Structure 1
Amino acid sequence: MDATRIKQILSSSADIEVTYNGASVWIDMLNEDGKTATVHLRGPLEERSTVEITELQEI
C-alpha cells in the first residue's frame, strides 16, 4: 500500500478492511516519515505497532 491510499482510508467514513501479515488491523495514523504507519488489531486489544506501509494490504 502507498501513503496516498493510507491517507484516503484515514479520511474515509467507510469501514475499509486492511490486513498486516494476515491479521485484520485498524490504521491509526500515517507516520511523519511517510513509510510507516501506526496500526492496532481489530478487536478488544489496543496494542499498537509501527509497521512498514508496504506490508499493509487492502481487502
Structure 2
Amino acid sequence: MDVQRAKQIVSTPSSDIEVQFNGVSVWIDRIHEDEKTATVHLRGPGEERTQVGIEDLKEIMH
C-alpha cells in the first residue's frame, strides 16, 4: 500500500475497507508519513497497537 491510499482509508468514516498486515485484518489508527509507517491494531476486541511499514499493509477487495 502507498502512503496516500493509507491516508484515504484513515479519513474514510466507513469500516467497509478491509486492511491486512501479514494476513490479519487490522485497523489503521495513525499514519506516520515521514517514517512511512502506520500505527495499527487488530480488528476485534484487542487494543494492542503496533507500528508497521505502510508498504506491508494490503487492502483487501471484496
Deviations 1:27-57 (A, max 9, x none): 0000142510000001111000000000000
> C-alpha distance in 1, partners of 2:37/2:8?
15
| Matching of residues 46-57 of structure 1 within 5 Å | 46-57=47-58
Structure 1 unaligned segments of length 5 or more: list them.
none
SS across alignment from 2:28: strand
Runs of 4+ that moved beyond 2 A? none
How many residues align? The count is 59
| Matching of residues 38-53 of structure 1 within 5 Å | 38-53=39-54
* Identity across matched positions, percent: 63
Is residue 11 from structure 1 mapped to residue 15 from structure 2 by the alignment? no
| Matching of residues 20-59 of structure 1 within 5 Å | 20-59=21-60
Q: CA RMSD in A?
A: 1.0
Structure 2 unaligned segments of length 5 or more: list them.
none
Contact 1:3 1:34 in 2 (8 A): no
**TM-score, normalised to structure 2's length?**
0.89
